[in-house]
Structures are given as C-alpha cells and as structure tokens.
Amino acid sequence: MTYDAPYKRLLRRESHSPRSTLAIVLAIVGIVACLYAATEIVLHLLGVAPLLAAPADIAAAIASISSVETWLLVVAGAVVALIGLWLVIVAIAPGRRARHRLVTERSAVVVDDEVIASALARTASRAALVSPDGVRASVSRRSAVVTMTPRSGQPIDRAAAAEAVQRELDESGLAPTLRSRTTIEKRGVVGA
C-alpha cells in the first residue's frame, strides 16, 4: 500500500523519535560553560575573587598538561573520543519509537508495541487454553516473543499458540512485519 505525502510525514513523525531533547541538553551545557567562562573573565577584570578558578590559572593548567602522566591523558582522550563517537551515532542514526504502522487503505494508523504485545498474549492464551496470567509477550522492532508459563497438571499446546500468534501477525498488516517466537518456560507454577 502506498501513502500520500501527508500520511508518509505523519507516519514518520509518529514512529520516529526526535533528537530535540539531546540537542537541548547539549545546548544548555554549552550555554552554562560559556556563561561560566564569561563570569570568570568579568570577575578577573573587576579584581574580584574567582568563583572556581581564575582565567590565568585555567590557562596555566592547560599549558602544563604535558606534565600529566601519559596514561591519564590517553584515558581522558579515549573517554572524550567515545563520547564524541556516541554523539555522532545518535545524530546520524534514526531514533525509533516502540511503534509499528498498521497498513490500511483509508487511513494512517500507528500502533504502540505494548498494544500489539497485549493482543498477541491474549491470542496465545486463547489458542493454548492457558490462563491470561500465564502468558507474557514482548514486541521489538522486527520480532515478537510470546512466553507461556505452564501450570501444574495443564499441558500447553505450543504449536497451536505459535500458529495463532503468527496468523494474528499476518492478518494485522503491520509494517515492518514481525516474526514470532513462542516459548514455554521450563519451570511452571503450582495452582489454579
């Protein structure tokens, strides 16, 4: 199914996470650093005691950095490089929300992964004749995992549950499509 341009924009906006929070945090850190530097410079020009360190002391500390042990410089450089690499990856990689598109002819629908997981758990519970409390489901970007916990004296038909879950996924028309995995925990519970 193809969507019109407004639907494409809407679906992308609802299924991808903006990077505005990280950008705002980094901007605030930068602003605070600039304000601190400006405050220290103004205090130095007025002849008042510095808040933390005078600009001359900071410049002297930077100039004497070569006297610091090499391993400490390497560790500090590695940490700064890893933070920089992480920021570049976050800036380039698309942020995904825990949502999937539901392909329909008449509208653009976005479904939260928790809703999909709940529906799959209910489907598996009905197909395997298991109490709803004994079924858990989780949905990620490309897969759905349904885990069933057996109760004493009640066998679980894993094949029926797996088939029902896969049929539910196939009929739902989710994009991107999900592959399912149905498992039964080795340890069960005692009780009704």
Copy the structure tokens of residue 72: 């400490």
User: What are the pLDDT digits (tens) for 128-144?
Assistant: 888 888 899 999 888 99
Residue bearing tokens 């698309």? 94
Q: Burial, 178: exposed, middle or buried (Cβ in 10 Å; 0-12, 13-18, 19+)?
A: buried
Summary mean pLDDT of the chain: 84
pTM: 0.62
The CB-side HSE value for 134 (13 A sphere, CA atoms) comes to: 27
Q: pLDDT-based confidence at 36, cuts 50/70/90?
A: very high
Residues 39-97 have pLDDT tens digits of 999 998 998 888 888 888 888 888 888 888 889 889 999 999 999 999 888 888 777 77
What is the CA 43 to chain-centroid distance, rounded?
44
**Residue with more model confidence, 189 or 57:** 57
Residue 11, Ramachandran bin (φ over 0: left; ψ between -120 and 50: alpha; else beta):
alpha
Q: Which of 171, 110, 109, 120 is nearest to 143 (CA)?
A: 120
Spatial distance between the Cα atoms of 152 and 69, rounded to a whole number of angstroms? 64
Number of Cβ within 10 Å of residue 34's Cβ equals 10
